[in-house]
Chains A and B, each alone.
Chain A
Amino acid sequence: MSSPILQLTDVKTHFPLTQGFLFRRSAGTVKAVDGVSLSVQRGEVLGLVGESGCGKSTLARTIMQLVPTTAGTVWLEGKNLTAGNTADVRDVRRDLQMVFQDPYASLNPRMTVFDTLAEPLRVHGVCPADRIPARVAELMQLVGLAPRFMQKYPHEFSGGQRQRIAIARALALEPKVIVADEPVSALDVSIQAQILNLLAQLVRKMNLSLIFIAHDLSVVKHISDRVAVMYLGKIVELGPAADVIERPAHPYTRALVSAIPVPDPAVERTRQRIVLAGDPPSPINPPAGCAFHPRCPSAVAKCRAAVPALAPAGAGREAACVRLGEI
């Protein structure tokens, strides 16, 4: 197997909490990402799923170095992004780009499409000034927008079109890896399908690696090669997308899959559903042992004892559950 383009080893991102105004004192830490190891191959789509608060967006921001890592290393093609060398990170930005969830908030409302797309080209000096308009037109065509809209402002576009602009901006520097944080969650079903098709097509055409974050498992299953399931800052299951979603090994993944309503009344009304009790616990004070055990239908005494590590669970699959063989 070729060496992965992006590799994370035991990455931790913790946020300190303070109390008081004049006499600030520490009130614990939020362990948003707590020991994540992952690798992404060239041309691979890795889906990252989990409920809100599980740390998937913080992980995305950590990979992008938008928040500092507390411990662990992020490698991009052999370059260490977490070594503290900001010049290195700036160079690497060209290869690592991000698409955000809300296309209404992530585009500057006072910049035209042309300004938005030309900015990265100018900042990184990758394109001679007289070639910029042609390159912007090319980028717009790449994401399915007509170049004649170049001088329009974001408010003149629909949500789906704005997300296309955001994708074009991410592609401007011909990156190797794109991190997309819930890129279709804010869009209607029919528009969502258009954006998913576009992303899948770009991945194929440009041999991109894509980290695709979502909470909708059916969307993730469709686009991803592999999927990682996160719970409270840790990866609890990892493996080929179809396997993990059709035959989940970890009890949390099972519950997550079972919670998705099936758009077929005959199936939906007869199937057995696992309804989890309660909400995800707080990452400030996570439960001892396996963080999922208070909500887990198959938890036993040993689940409380130690934090389970990711262990092999079949072909190319890993899961972090001490009762893997038993349940």
Chain B
Amino acid sequence: MPLLTVTDLRTSFHTRSGVYRAVDGVSFSVERGETLGIVGESGSGKSVTCYSIMGLIPQPPGRIESGTALFDGVDLLHCSPAESRAIRGKRVAMIFQDPMTSLNPYMRVSEQLIEPLLIHEKISKADALKRGLAVLESVGINDAARRIHLYPHEFSGGMRQRVMIAMALITKPELLIADEPTTALDVTVQAQILELIKKMQRELGMAVVFITHDLGVVSGLCDRVQVMYAGRIVETADTRTLFHAPRHPYTRALQRSIPALQSKGAELYTIRGLPPDLSKPLPGCAFAARCEYAVDRCTAAPAVLAEAAPGHRHACARAHAGEL
């Protein structure tokens, strides 16, 4: 049985200018110990999906319209606050994009680092500090015994992200949700953090859901990838298949827009147009308006995420019909 099974998740935001369907019927699962990458452009719903699972959507204006998220048999979207508290921060942990704003500037690193332990485990403060020190060392912070008592502003960006990771891992979670944890960092520091996440995953055997817009990051880290567009999953496959044999036109277009894969000096491939307005109804495939292969029925019939090969599912009707 998968560790996490999300079924038909719909999250929308009710604003004065309309109802935005940020996540529009998303279903996926994560196995124990697996790394799942969620890729998409801004506004594709990849972060909102994970925020919904973690119960971090501000309600209102957000509203989880439907769906279930079964984590080891408990539905995170409908369980009691006490049940959810026992899981969140202990068995499921999350790290965020911006380590500058996600640490409390008024608290010493030591205090915020051991906070999850004090909440979730019967442990004395002294023992918690010992564990905190050990985990800080394991994420590669030198001189941890002294630095644990500093404030976040005394750390560099990369070091803060290490503190965030230490804080998420201190309770030995079974699932780590990482929301673009390296986007705000330099490439050399990004390489360090990616190595660290891989190492910690090996040591703790946890599953990771890694949200990113960078296909390069996904290629080295993830076992499986799902591509999101306009609040829906358009394609999901194991990493190798997704990179070498993508079927959905959006996945292909996304891959073709990476400058590294194009010859120098030539015109870069671009996806024409803009992502759709999520407050308007989208009866057909969300990508149809920008798709170079779209035909009439693409905008008429809803796109269904169906299996093309074992483990490889995509939502392009024309590719399923063998026309592409």
* A contact residues vs B (CB 8 Å cutoff): 51-52, 158, 160, 188-194, 196-197, 200, 215-219, 221-222, 241-242, 255-256, 258-269, 273, 275-277, 279-280
* A260: nearest chain-B partner, CB-CB: B187
Q: Report chain A residues within 8 Å CB of B41.
A: 188-191
- A to B CB contacts below 8 Å, 11 in the list: A189-B41, A189-B213, A190-B257, A193-B271, A197-B268, A259-B190, A260-B187, A262-B216, A265-B244, A268-B216, A276-B191
A221 to B260, CA, bound (A): 8
Residue with the greatest number of chain B CB neighbours at <10 A, chosen from A200, A217, A279 = A279
Q: Report chain B residues within 8 Å CB of A258.
A: 191
A192, A194, A263, A279: the one contacting B261 at CB < 8 Å is A263
Q: Report chain B residues within 8 Å CB of A215.
A: 186-187
Give chain B nearest CB distance to A92 CB in angstroms. Answer: 30
Give chain B nearest CB distance to A234 CB in angstroms. Answer: 17
* A159: nearest chain-B partner, CB-CB: B42
A256 to B186, CA, bound (A): 10
Give chain B nearest CB distance to A279 CB in angstroms. Answer: 5
Q: How many residues on the B side are at the interface (Cβ–Cβ under 8 A)? A: 44
User: Are A261 and B42 closer than 8 Å at their CB atoms?
Assistant: no
User: Are B259 and A263 closer than 8 Å at their CB atoms?
Assistant: no
How does the 8 Å CB contact mask read for B231-264 relative to A, with 1 for contact and 0 for none? 0000000011001100000000111011111101
A268-B220, A276-B192 known; A259-B260 Cβ under 8 A: no
> B306: CB under 8 A from chain A?
no
A218 to B254, CA, bound (A): 15
B159, B190, B258: the one contacting A279 at CB < 8 Å is B159
B157, B186, B219: the one contacting A265 at CB < 8 Å is B219
Chain B interface mostly helix, strand, loop or mixed? Answer: helix
Q: Report chain B residues within 8 Å CB of A263.
A: 215-216, 218-219, 243, 255, 258, 260-261
User: Are B254 and A279 closer than 8 Å at their CB atoms?
Assistant: no
User: Are A259 and B213 closer than 8 Å at their CB atoms?
Assistant: no
User: Are A51 and B187 closer than 8 Å at their CB atoms?
Assistant: yes
Q: Report chain B residues within 8 Å CB of A196.
A: 259, 268
Give chain A nearest CB distance to B71 CB in angstroms. Answer: 28
Q: Report chain A residues within 8 Å CB of B269.
A: 193
Known: A189-B254, A190-B257, A279-B159. 8 other contacts (CB 8 A): A158-B274, A221-B259, A259-B187, A261-B220, A263-B219, A263-B261, A264-B243, A279-B157
Residue with the greatest number of chain A CB neighbours at <10 A, chosen from B188, B192, B254 = B188
* B239: nearest chain-A partner, CB-CB: A265
